[in-house]
Amino acid sequence: MTPEPSVPSAPAPTLAFVTLGCPKNTVDSEHMLGLLAAAGFRGVANPDEADVAVVNTCGFLQSAVRESKEMIEKLATYKELGRLKRLIVTGCLGQREGAALLEEHPAVDAVLGTGQWSEVARVARLLLEDTRERLVRVGDPGGALAPLERRARSTPRHLAWLKIAEGCDQRCTFCVIPALRGPQRSRPLEELVEEAGQLGTQGVRELTLVAQDTTGWGRDLPGQPALADLLEALEESPGPPWIRVLYTDPRGWNDRLMGVWARARRVVPYVDLPLQHVATDLLRAMGRGLSGPATRALVRRLKAQIPGLSLRTSFIVGFPGETDAHFDELCRFVVDEPFDHVVVFPYEREPGTPAWDLTPRVPLTVRRSRRSRLLGLQQDLARRRNARRVGERVVVMIDGPAGRNQYAARTAGSAYEVDGGVVVEGEGLAPGALVEVRVTGAAAYDLFARAEVAGPFLELVKGIA
């Protein structure tokens, strides 16, 4: 009996995926990548080799909107000149502009809002079957809060983001996030602890908790647990040796949270605290909820209660009504209460926010000048502070090779791809290893060091800043 000839299976469709914006967007992308992989798509690095390209956009600021649209146009050229067949836009810009993106960018085939990310695989398949159709799926805002099973991590193996909540209930007058991401929605404590444990078994050595407002976690859950409860549960459960928290709102801090942070052995002594300003009338106009004196007092309490604290903040300069006196007050604050890491944004008017109509407006040249002056001040302070660290012994986590016998690393006082790092001289150091090093040199934002000891005992040592 002659066997029937086999019918060759169709090749898997290829996928190029681009992520813009913050780590929270990265988590959304990882969930979409997991869905696409489960649907049979094969990832490629070059969009020119892809059948479908997905760009997960940021739309938080007008500068981010411009960057997202530039990426859309760049991918559109691949569609015009190469094999790329379909282009899908997801994320905050999709939520913000919806069908208008189809009109502005003829190469875009589908737009998905932040609450419709789970449709990406079905939409991609549908578009490949019908190359004439264009789709818009924008509804209630949201983001990825799905369990680990549908997630394809894109970070280095020893690092992972854990999104603990989506959306935001705060109403800062300059911010469009509540419109793009919706109200606060927290993931259950048990689910987060389980995922943290699974990530630890997969080789993750540093777990970073993210949300629009991490200190707001739990307010919408039964019993209203607090971030302190989550940190205690993570501390007591198996998981990565370092736990980092980003995006804490100043309004969410209290003595209990500070105490949990101070006593923890795995929650690193690093606090990300976006303050935005220190002048009381500007804080009021921004809708930040704290006065200038309360902001100063909070910073002093954090430094006093959390040993070895590394403090990161962000400021907005040039907000409507900011005078030279307001800016001088901000500069004095940075000198009087030094921060380890400072980010400065020149104010950007955002359509749809209460601050859009505020006056008097600060000229763009003044906004940019103030940003440069404040960053220059911080750079000088950081350079002098780092210079005093030469000779110290510190514990670092290795992130990867950085040249011959050199490795990129960080103390617990620096977040991955966000803050300055440590360049370590050594041999045979693996990503994720905790290593004791001696600081041999310093620059404004980076340290240089030589490996002294690496061993299992460091697993029991809370990383020091």
Mean pLDDT of 346-351: 96
The residue whose two tokens read 């048990």 is 190
pLDDT of 461 > 50? The answer is no
DSSP codes, 399-430? EEEEETTEEEEEETTS-TTTS--EEEE-SSPP
pLDDT category at 63 given cuts 50, 70, 90 is very high
pLDDT category at 453 given cuts 50, 70, 90 is low
Inter-CA distances, 54 with 17, 69, 95, 392, Å: 5, 13, 15, 46
- pLDDT at position 4: 52
Region for 224 from its dihedrals, namely left if φ exceeds 0, alpha if ψ lies in -120 to 50, beta otherwise:
left
Mean pLDDT of 11-16: 92
Cα separation, 226 vs 224, whole angstroms: 6
pLDDT category at 462 given cuts 50, 70, 90 is very low
Mean pLDDT of 207-219: 97
Quote helix, strand, coil % in the chain, to nearest 5: 40, 20, 40
The winner for highest mean pLDDT among 72-81, 143-152, 334-343 is: 334-343
pLDDT of 463 > 90? The answer is no
Closest CA to 367 of 319, 399, 312: 319
pLDDT of 459 > 60? The answer is no
**What are the structural domains of the chain?**
14-137 (3.40.50.12160), 148-387 (3.80.30.20), 393-460 (2.40.50.140)
pLDDT category at 9 given cuts 50, 70, 90 is low
How does pLDDT run across 415-444, given as a tens digit for each residue? 999 999 999 999 999 999 999 999 999 999
What share of the chain has pLDDT > 90, as a percent? 88
Q: Is the peptide bond before 307 cis (omega within 30 degrees of 0)?
A: no
Cα separation, 63 vs 71, whole angstroms: 13
What 3-state class would DSSP assign to 375? helix
pLDDT of 147 > 70? The answer is no
- pLDDT at position 201: 95
Length of the chain: 465
pLDDT of 269 > 60? The answer is yes
Residue 116 sits at φ, ψ, to 5 deg, of -120, 15
- pLDDT at position 132: 79
Mean pLDDT of 53-73: 95
End-to-end CA, the chain:
74
Inter-CA distances, 405 with 41, 63, 431, Å: 38, 39, 14
The mean-pLDDT minimum among 30-44, 127-141, 267-281 falls in 127-141
pLDDT category at 81 given cuts 50, 70, 90 is confident
How does pLDDT run across 89-113, given as a tens digit for each residue? 999 999 999 999 999 999 999 999 9
Cα separation, 90 vs 120, whole angstroms: 8
Inter-CA distances, 252 with 75, 167, 256, 295, Å: 41, 16, 11, 12
Cα separation, 290 vs 387, whole angstroms: 34
pLDDT of 458 > 80? The answer is no
Cα separation, 233 vs 261, whole angstroms: 12
Query: In sequence order, what are the beta bridge partners of 425?
Result: 406, 450
How much is the pTM? 0.92
Mean pLDDT of 293-308: 98
What 3-state class would DSSP assign to 321? coil
Inter-CA distances, 100 with 72, 104, 111, 351, 353, Å: 14, 6, 10, 15, 19
- pLDDT at position 464: 37
